[in-house]
Amino acid sequence: MKNSNHKNRILATTFLIMCFSNSLILFAGDLEKLVNLKKEWKFSIGDNMNWTSPAFNDKDWETIPVPSNWEDNGFYGYDGFAWYRTEFEIFPYYKKENLYLSLGFIDDVDEVYINGILIGFSGAFPPNYQTAFNANRIYPIPNNIIDFNKKNTISIRVYDSQLNGGIVSGDIGIFRNTSDLKLVIDLAGNWKFKIGDNLDWKKKNIDKESWENIMVPRFWRDIGYDNYDGFAWYRKEFYFNKNANQKYVLVVGKIDDIDEVFINGKLVGATGDMEDLVLKGTEYTQFRYYYLSKYDLKENQNNLIAIRVYDGMKDGGIYEGPVGIMELQTFQKFWNNYKKKESYKINPFWDFLIENLFK
């Protein structure tokens, strides 16, 4: 619900960005638009999961300009589910690039599919409704789901609870990353998530029925765990087809508060005191990077990354990227630039100030 509490969050976020943090601006500056998706999209109110399919015929749907409020385009007063669909093409030249779909701000909740495959979501649909109307959507696109030789289909499921609805604002398109942050494997995106603690969850073959989906990076409060403090686990499988003799670094961005990271069941890195759970209060500000040995990654097969997280208070989870695997030489160049940028970031004092200023 868009109440005063949400307005306070927006004010606090705006204040932080304007006064202290250039991280979002730098990230936006590192993205080059390849496909402009500011145009007329196909649109229908209602809800049907068959609409994710590229084979679905949407010729009888309405059209709507994106971005815009659907209330301003013939659907005044409508609250509920609606879908958007469009097609795009992209040159094979960009096959090896880190690609992102930018959708700006969506009111309130969304799931995004490319060629029928879920690539991202924000908020939570009813019955466990959680708005994400103030989240800027930038979703990584796995290159293996794109057909670089023909048209691809984007399908977006949206739920609006009240007032304005839809893909309402932002720079809509497909972008490539032009920064020093060149990931050989981008692990951002959809992960499996479960609260609780069980060291067996680092293993490959476990029961996954009770695990939820979560976008990484993002606080776990954004999927409804606003007041949860304690243990939780993240899991993701990825195919590794690179040179196993190359030296690699696993980067996991920032985590609130402490973590242990496993690849194929083996501990490859940790930050903080997981044994006694004594927090210094600064662990959440530390950028995680873990050097991998040539035996950690299994070449030409699926690998599993499992991350055990403990949060002592507020927020919780893998909340800031990048998250992925980089070649060592690339990481060294990235790290030198990252440290320069970090010198402009806010410190815990400003976290405290903003948290209390806008209560």
The CATH class, in words, for 185-343 is mainly beta
Percent pLDDT > 70 in the chain is 86
Q: How far is CA 247 from CA 98, 212, 305, 306, in A?
A: 20, 33, 18, 21
For the domain covering 22-177, report its CATH number. Answer: 2.60.120.260
**CB-CB neighbours of 132 under 10 Å:** 21
- Interatomic CA distance for residues 265 and 285, integer angstroms: 26
Is the sign of the CA dihedral 32, 35, 40, 46 positive or negative?
negative
pLDDT of residue 341: 66
pLDDT of residue 280: 92
Higher per-residue pLDDT: 173 or 11: 173
pLDDT of residue 353: 42
- Interatomic CA distance for residues 291 and 267, integer angstroms: 11
SS3 state of residue 200: helix
pLDDT of residue 246: 87
| Vertex 139 angle, CA 352 and 60, to 5° | 130
SS3 state of residue 350: helix
- Interatomic CA distance for residues 99 and 136, integer angstroms: 16
Give 208's pLDDT tier (boundaries 50, 70, 90).
Answer: confident
Which residue in 205, 228, 239, 248 sits closest to 309, CA to CA?
Answer: 228
H/E element holding 289?
A: strand 287-292
Mean pLDDT of 101-116: 96
For residue 182, give the amino acid letter: K
pLDDT of residue 24: 35
pLDDT of residue 109: 95
Is a pLDDT exceeding 90 seen at residue 134? no
* pTM, to two decimals: 0.77
Give residue-wise pLDDT tens across range 258-276: 999 999 999 999 999 999 9
Which residue in 11, 19, 3, 80 sits closest to 350, CA to CA?
Answer: 19
Ordered by start, the domain boundaries in the chain are 22-177, 185-343
Which residue in 321, 243, 310, 264 sits closest to 283, CA to CA?
Answer: 310
Give 102's pLDDT tier (boundaries 50, 70, 90).
Answer: very high
Give 29's pLDDT tier (boundaries 50, 70, 90).
Answer: low
pLDDT of residue 355: 45
Burial grade of 349 (CB within 10 A; 0-12, 13-18, 19 or more): exposed
Give residue-wise pLDDT tens across range 46-64: 999 999 999 999 999 999 9
Mean pLDDT of 156-169: 96
Peptide bond into 315 cis (omega under 30): no
- Interatomic CA distance for residues 36 and 104, integer angstroms: 13
Per-residue DSSP letter, 124: B
pLDDT of residue 194: 96
Q: Which two tokens stand for residue 82?
A: 């609606």
Would 22-177 and 185-343 be classified into the same CATH topology?
yes
In the beta sheet, which residues pair with residue 193?
212, 234
Give residue-wise pLDDT tens across range 312-349: 988 899 999 889 999 998 898 888 876 776 654 544 44
Give 7's pLDDT tier (boundaries 50, 70, 90).
Answer: very low
| CA end-to-end span of the chain | 17
pLDDT of residue 342: 61
Is a pLDDT exceeding 80 seen at residue 136? yes
Is a pLDDT exceeding 90 seen at residue 222? no
Write down the mean pLDDT value for the chain: 86
Mean pLDDT of 189-211: 93
